[in-house]
Amino acid sequence: KQEVTQIPAALSVPEGENLVLNCSFTDSAIYNLQWFRQDPGKGLTSLLLIQSSQREQTSGRLNASLDKSSGRSTLYIAASQPGDSATYLCAVNPGRRALTFGSGTRLQVQP
């Protein structure tokens, strides 16, 4: 059974810092991996999707990497802003089935 772990569980940083969120998964047979953002009490917003054949994806200040063989992904946020404060969720897709989610990293960026 696939298990997804996210470290750290919570993170508080001052504005402007670069930061890295970690995601690990136990079964490397994945179709792709997706990073989401969730604001309190809200739904999920997709940030980045990495296919199993890719190493990284970038969108603005966000960069996500994938090392499928070692079961790891990282989300890098450059020059963090207070508006980045949210919970970040990593989810793996086994292929044409539901996603398996990590427990999330709760990020607070202090102005």
Query: Is 44 an interacting residue with respect to other proteins (CB under 8 A)?
Result: yes
Beta strands in 1-111 (DSSP E): 4-7, 10-14, 19-25, 32-38, 44-51, 56-59, 62-67, 72-77, 86-93, 100-101, 105-110
Query: Is 93 an interacting residue with respect to other proteins (CB under 8 A)?
Result: yes
| Count of residues interacting with other proteins (CB under 8 A) | 22
Query: Is 21 an interacting residue with respect to other proteins (CB under 8 A)?
Result: no
3-class DSSP state of 9: coil
- Report the residue from 7, 15, 18, 42 that binds other proteins according to the rule CB under 8 A: 42
Q: How far is the CB of 36 from other proteins (least distance, A)?
A: 8
Residue carrying structure tokens 């991996």: 33
- Report the residue from 31, 67, 70, 78 that binds other proteins according to the rule CB under 8 A: 31
